[in-house]
A and B are shown apart, each in its own frame.
Chain A
């Protein structure tokens, strides 16, 4: 057996989700201080993306371990004890298990297409729903701590929404950070559109939450809140509009350049220096651009070869120059003498 070095132990622990579980537990402690204004019982927990990510990257079991064990560690450190909310350990574990299963079944290791993106995001939302559902069922069956419908409205539904939104936003970010996104036109576009969408939704929700923070019972407070929301909306529209233009240009700009280049090739101009910046891209447009450049180069070569071929087939003889050259040789005494001698020689 190979001796276990510190590095391999570390790798094995991380591979089974144990290290991540510890990290998750510590993050749970820290984030317990943050709460949503609308649902003070629910902690803001963006770290729910962690078990999901471990599920996607390492598989369903490490994902489950991270969520399950991590939640347990958090509870213990916070003073709840191991067994009090054991249904939530399972729920957190499921948030790692479901994405892991989805990735395994769909054969997704990296995000390459819109399909991959869709499956990943769907798995995130489904895992949150399954987690909450299972936690609620277990409570109804064994624990009997929740009160319906009060508990559901007060914190179960907000918890589900917040977890789903966190995962929805953060999981793609982690895919990008871990370089598990193949940058193609497809992934580039879907990530761009999704991020615009996310920014719009987030700004709206933050604005609403912020506005709701004040006591809205007086007329003036309500008007102020509406003004505030209006101003933020106008700013968001302007920023959104500007960034839309920027992203549209970024995606369609190269297409315009490529089209212009293709038109110039059609006209018989083969200098495709103009699309050199597009050729440096690593996505489909870059590939298209390189293919176009190579094709134009080849067409140009063939045309040159053809021209040369026609040139070589045309035998042009400058008669004037030829007559002059012949006269220079024939006019010499030596040549005249030689011609006479040869005549005699041939007679023999």
Chain B
């Protein structure tokens, strides 16, 4: 049975897409068939991390949602480009970066139920073990749907008051949607903070396990928008932290 994992954050800029890409890469690297869907249609970005050639993208998630194609036509096998060895597979389902397409979503919206159907078909047709959903920040309808469909919800937050407050809302809403597993991932932690203290405090506040605390890393910042960190630095301590999160998902 495939697992759907949503990666969400209350605000933008938390490193949500980066987290999704790294965890997906590590799952695929561990021999799992993994798909990543960019449902952040209003501000897509995860495709940049995969280094996918714009010219090679014929169909996107937008085309599927507007009935222009099948969902499998909008999925791209990134295994070879990212050096994932069989039996692992890494698929990307990007959103359109064309401003016209983005404007259309903002203006007309789309059939949210079709998104659910799309996820299911992806899992079936690509024989996925894991489907990761990179959501849009905030709690709009398609994000709520993604959360509702998830087996695991990973909430990415930075250690600041606004993220603390927003994440509390997300945690509560997810509990009402009865998401089976909730995980918190504290990202961009300044080096001055004591990791253990912070972990304890966050777990106590949300009554929810913390999957990891990722320190603010200079190397990460350099590579942040040009590649998948875990694949470039497989032995870096930060990669180890991501790997632990991936291991929690496969356990």
- Chain A residues with a Cβ under 8 A of chain B: 305, 308-309, 311-313, 315-318, 321-322, 325-326, 329-330, 334-335, 338-339, 341-343, 345-346
Chain B residue numbers with a CB within 8 Å of A309 are 192-193
How distant is B163 from chain A, measured CB to nearest CB, in Å? 10
Cα-based distance from A15 to B117 in the complex (angstroms): 98
Chain B residue numbers with a CB within 8 Å of A346 are 178
A-B contact pairs, 8 of them (CB 8 A): A312-B159, A313-B194, A316-B164, A317-B205, A322-B165, A326-B172, A326-B173, A329-B169
The total of interchain contacts (Cβ-Cβ below 8 angstroms) comes to 61
Q: If the complex has contacts A322-B172, A325-B169, are A339 and B177 also in contact, measured as CB distance less than 8 A?
A: yes
Interface pair A342/B149, CB less than 8 Å apart: yes
Q: Which residue of A305, A313, A330 contacts B197 across the interface (Cβ within 8 Å)?
A: A313
How distant is B94 from chain A, measured CB to nearest CB, in Å? 25
| Stretch from B41-49, B140-148, B238-246 forming part of the interface with A | B140-148
Q: Chain B, 115-157, contact with A by CB distance < 8 Å: what is the 0/1 string?
A: 0000000000000000000000001010011001100000000
Interface pair B198/A313, CB less than 8 Å apart: yes
Q: Which residue of A321, A329, A343 contacts B173 across the interface (Cβ within 8 Å)?
A: A329
**Do most interface residues of chain B lie in helix, strand or loop, or is the interface mixed?**
helix
Q: Which residue of B144, B164, B176 contacts A334 across the interface (Cβ within 8 Å)?
A: B144
Cα-based distance from A339 to B174 in the complex (angstroms): 10
Q: Chain B, 203-244, contact with A by CB distance < 8 Å: what is the 0/1 string?
A: 001000000000000000000000000000000000000000
Interface pair B177/A316, CB less than 8 Å apart: no
Cα-based distance from A312 to B172 in the complex (angstroms): 22
Chain B residue numbers with a CB within 8 Å of A343 are 178
How distant is B100 from chain A, measured CB to nearest CB, in Å? 27
Closest chain B residue, CB of each to CB of A323: B172
Q: Which residue of B145, B168, B177, B190 contacts A312 across the interface (Cβ within 8 Å)?
A: B190
Q: If the complex has contacts A315-B201, A315-B202, A321-B165, are A338 and B144 also in contact, measured as CB distance less than 8 A?
A: yes
Q: If the complex has contacts A322-B168, A334-B144, are A315 and B176 also in contact, measured as CB distance less than 8 A?
A: no
Q: Does B54 reach chain A (CB closer than 8 Å)?
A: no
Cα-based distance from A339 to B178 in the complex (angstroms): 8
Q: Which residue of B139, B149, B178, B193 contacts A329 across the interface (Cβ within 8 Å)?
A: B139
Closest chain B residue, CB of each to CB of A330: B176
Q: Does B111 reach chain A (CB closer than 8 Å)?
A: no
Cα-based distance from A311 to B201 in the complex (angstroms): 12
Chain B residue numbers with a CB within 8 Å of A311 are 161
How distant is A313 from chain B, measured CB to nearest CB, in Å? 6
How distant is B180 from chain A, measured CB to nearest CB, in Å? 8
**Do most interface residues of chain A lie in helix, strand or loop, or is the interface mixed?**
helix
Cα-based distance from A325 to B148 in the complex (angstroms): 18
Cα-based distance from A133 to B165 in the complex (angstroms): 94
Chain A residue numbers with a CB within 8 Å of B202 are 315
How distant is B112 from chain A, measured CB to nearest CB, in Å? 8
Cα-based distance from A316 to B164 in the complex (angstroms): 8
Chain A residue numbers with a CB within 8 Å of B53 are none
List which B164-199 residues lie within 8 A (CB) of chain A. 164-165, 168-169, 172-173, 176-178, 190, 192-194, 197-198
Closest chain A residue, CB of each to CB of B161: A316
Q: If the complex has contacts A309-B192, A317-B164, A329-B144, are A345 and B149 also in contact, measured as CB distance less than 8 A?
A: yes
Closest chain B residue, CB of each to CB of A305: B192
Cα-based distance from A335 to B145 in the complex (angstroms): 9
Interface pair B165/A318, CB less than 8 Å apart: yes
Interface pair B178/A330, CB less than 8 Å apart: no
Cα-based distance from A317 to B169 in the complex (angstroms): 10
Chain A residue numbers with a CB within 8 Å of B160 are 312
Interface pair B141/A334, CB less than 8 Å apart: yes
Most chain A CB atoms below 10 A, which of B145, B168, B178: B168
How distant is B54 from chain A, measured CB to nearest CB, in Å? 34
Interface pair A342/B178, CB less than 8 Å apart: yes
Closest chain A residue, CB of each to CB of B164: A315
Interface pair B159/A342, CB less than 8 Å apart: no
Cα-based distance from A308 to B205 in the complex (angstroms): 19
How distant is A317 from chain B, measured CB to nearest CB, in Å? 5
Cα-based distance from A329 to B160 in the complex (angstroms): 23
Cα-based distance from A308 to B190 in the complex (angstroms): 11
How distant is A33 from chain B, measured CB to nearest CB, in Å? 79
Interface pair A342/B177, CB less than 8 Å apart: yes
Cα-based distance from A176 to B172 in the complex (angstroms): 79
How distant is A310 from chain B, measured CB to nearest CB, in Å? 10
Q: Which residue of B165, B169, B177 contacts A338 across the interface (Cβ within 8 Å)?
A: B177
Interface pair A322/B169, CB less than 8 Å apart: yes
Chain B residue numbers with a CB within 8 Å of A342 are 148-149, 177-178
Chain A residue numbers with a CB within 8 Å of B197 are 313
Cα-based distance from A316 to B159 in the complex (angstroms): 11
Cα-based distance from A72 to B139 in the complex (angstroms): 104
Interface pair B190/A317, CB less than 8 Å apart: no
Interface pair B178/A313, CB less than 8 Å apart: no
Cα-based distance from A342 to B149 in the complex (angstroms): 7
Interface pair B168/A317, CB less than 8 Å apart: yes
List which B61-114 residues lie within 8 A (CB) of chain A. none
